[in-house]
């Protein structure tokens, strides 16, 4: 900033780089700002190619912008359990749980993944929610629970049907994991935590490791002929096809997990977390709105915030994510709409630039998940 300034300026957002920034540039990435990070939107072959490559072989994503932290202390699991609908105290070592941090209205502060290895819990949170989440956790967890931000850690995702064949050659023990299991291991002497998880709908792994080894690890994986780099553009179309919600789109502080299609996260036996009363009530009595999948019956993509109407032209909701589906070769969307209108097979409508477009409410996911479960 200009040094002559004498007034205090609003906080200037720093644009961070991940440990793989130089590698992205070398690989021809188009970099874009995302949640205060310079991230690869795509590489030279483009989003559609990267998307299909992930569905057919294996793709490497840099997701180091996401927040990682560890929770230690005897009260960590019990403490975290009071902030989420997940029964963290019964999460076994080597297991992962997808859940949400809720507010007192049952709205979603963030969607997170909790992993337990021995007595230690690690949490992965959304990049844009990092500060908010860590502040919330520090405030709510008791003093004998230590939260340590893993800001010196990178996170790589290797996703796609060939991922396990690749990892078999460098970390065979990781290939024994089932979906949502994790272990600590080494790849070429690099210490890392590997989990069998991801957000593409494909079998795949996420690898957390110290920043200083990230580039070496990425190069080891990219060296396999099956593996190509993929950016955030493909990550978004892959998760959309997999019917997976994205924070800030389907999920936010005003939307409950029940409305957002995450009622499977709620257990009747766990009632002591913020908003539990509201959520259990919604489980029993339903919600006024709900998340649905929409097949767009036109070639024109329908984007976020497009209005959704019923056949009497009544506004019933809005699109929360919309894009072209490379696997299906047509536009698809997720929307939050009135429950009355959320009937599988029903015809709804939207308008894009004065074009009336037909939408068909459909089952999710758009493209079947292929997670590795025994």
Q: Which residues are annotated as a binding site for substrate?
A: 206
Q: Which is nearer to another protein, 344 or 356 (CB)?
A: 356
Stretch that binds another protein, among 44-52, 147-155, 206-214, 339-347 (CB under 8 A): 44-52
Which one of residues 16, 17, 82, 303 is an interface residue with another protein (CB under 8 A)? 303
Q: Which is nearer to another protein, 284 or 355 (CB)?
A: 355
Between 45 and 95, whose beta carbon lies closer to another protein?
45
Q: How many CA atoms lie within 13 A of 289 on its CB side?
A: 19
Question: By CB under 8 A, is residue 326 in contact with another protein?
Answer: yes
Please state the closest distance from residue 46 (CB atom) to another protein, in A. Answer: 5
Question: Smallest distance from the beta carbon of 199 to another protein, in angstroms?
Answer: 17
φ, ψ for residue 315, nearest 5 deg: -70, 120
**Residue list 229-288, contact with another protein (CB under 8 A):** 233, 237
Query: Residue from 94, 161, 210, 301 that binds another protein (CB under 8 A)?
Result: 301
CB of 326 to another protein, least distance (A): 8
> What token pair was written down for 372?
């590795």
Of the listed pieces 42-50, 65-73, 257-265, 308-316, which binds another protein according to CB under 8 A?
A: 42-50
332 forms part of the interface with another protein (CB under 8 A) = no
Cα radius of gyration (the chain): 21
Binding to another protein by residue 200, rule CB under 8 A? no
Nearest approach, Cβ of 340 to another protein (angstroms)?
Answer: 31
When the beta carbons of 300 and 343 are compared against another protein, the nearer one is 300
356 binds another protein (CB under 8 A): no
CA dihedral 135, 136, 138, 144 (to 10 degrees): 180
* Residue number with CB closer to another protein (42 or 278): 42
Among 42, 57, 99, 290, binds another protein (CB under 8 A): 42
Beta carbon nearer to another protein, 216 or 299: 299
Cβ at position 302, least distance to another protein in Å: 10
Stretch that binds another protein, among 38-46, 65-73, 221-229, 338-346 (CB under 8 A): 38-46
Which of 41, 182, 217, 308 contacts another protein by CB under 8 A? 41
Residue with smaller CB distance to another protein, 105 or 297: 297
Annotated binding site: 206
Contacts of 288 (CB under 8 A, 6+ apart): 338, 339
Work out how close the CB of 240 gets to another protein at its nearest, in angstroms, rounded to a whole number.
Answer: 10
Q: Measured from the CB atom, is 115 or 323 closer to another protein?
A: 323
Residue 328 to residues 55, 117, 240, 363: CA-CA distances in angstroms? Answer: 12, 38, 12, 14
SS (H, E, C) the chain: CCCCCCCCCCCCCCCEECCCHHHHHHCCCEEEEECCEEEEEECCCCHHHHHHHHHHCEEEEECCCCEEEEEECCCHHHHHHCCCCCCHHHCCCCEEEEEEEECCCCCEEEEEEEEEECCEEEEEECHHHHHHHHHHHHHHCCCCCEEEECCCEEEEEEECCCHHHHHHHHCHHHHHCCCCEEEEEEECCEEEEEECCCCCCCCEEEEEEEHHHHHHHHHHHHCCCCEEECCHHHHHHHHHHCCCCCECCCECCCCCCCCCCCHHHCCCCCCCCCCHHHHHHHHHHCCCEEEEEEEECCCCCCCCCCEEECCCCCEEEEEEEEEEECCCCEEEEEEEEEHHHCCCCCEEEEEECCEEEEEEEECCCCCCCCCCCC
Binding residue for another protein, selected from 324, 327, 334, 336, defined by CB under 8 A? 324
Site for another protein in 45-74 (CB under 8 A): 46-49
User: Which lies closer to another protein via its Cβ, residue 236 or residue 259?
Assistant: 236
Residues in contact with another protein by the rule CB under 8 A: 30, 41-42, 46-49, 233, 237, 299-301, 303, 323-324, 326, 331, 353, 355
């Amino acid at each position: 900033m200009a040094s002559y300034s004498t007034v205090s300026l609003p906080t200037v957002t720093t644009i961070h780089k991940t440990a793989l920034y130089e590698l992205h540039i070398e690989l021809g990435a188009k970099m874009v700002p995302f949640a205060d990070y310079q991230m690869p939107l795509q590489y030279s072959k483009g989003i559609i190619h990267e998307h299909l490559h992930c569905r057919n072989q294996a793709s490497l994503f840099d997701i180091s912008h996401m927040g990682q932290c560890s929770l230690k202390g005897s009260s960590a699991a019990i403490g975290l359990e009071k902030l989420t609908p997940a029964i963290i105290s019964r999460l076994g070592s080597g297991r992962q749980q997808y859940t949400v941090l809720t507010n007192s209205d049952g709205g979603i502060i963030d969607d997170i993944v909790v992993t337990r290895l021995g007595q230690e819990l690690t949490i992965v949170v959304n990049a844009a929610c990092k500060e908010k989440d860590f502040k919330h956790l520090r405030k709510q967890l008791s003093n004998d629970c230590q939260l340590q931000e893993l800001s010196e850690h990178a996170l790589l995702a290797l996703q796609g049907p060939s991922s396990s064949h690749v990892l078999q050659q460098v970390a065979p023990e990781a290939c024994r994991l089932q979906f949502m299991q994790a272990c600590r291991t080494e790849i070429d002497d690099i210490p890392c935590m590997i989990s069998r998880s991801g957000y593409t709908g494909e079998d795949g792994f996420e690898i957390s490791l110290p920043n200083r080894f990230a580039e070496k690890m990425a190069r080891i994986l990219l060296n396999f002929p099956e593996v190509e780099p993929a950016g955030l553009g493909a990550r978004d179309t892959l998760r959309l096809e997999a019917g997976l919600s994205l924070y800030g789109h389907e999920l936010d502080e005003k939307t409950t997990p029940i409305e957002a299609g995450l009622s499977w996260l709620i257990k009747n036996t766990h009632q002591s977390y913020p908003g539990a009363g509201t959520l259990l009530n919604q489980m029993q009595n339903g919600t006024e709105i709900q998340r649905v999948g929409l097949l767009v019956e036109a070639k024109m993509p329908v984007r976020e915030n497009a209005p959704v109407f019923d056949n009497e032209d009544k506004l019933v909701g809005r699109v929360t994510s919309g894009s072209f589906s490379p696997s299906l070769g047509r536009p698809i969307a997720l929307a939050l709409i009135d429950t009355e209108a959320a009937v599988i097979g029903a015809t709804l409508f939207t308008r894009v630039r004065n074009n009336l477009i037909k939408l068909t409410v459909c089952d999710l996911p758009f493209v079947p998940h292929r997670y590795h479960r025994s």
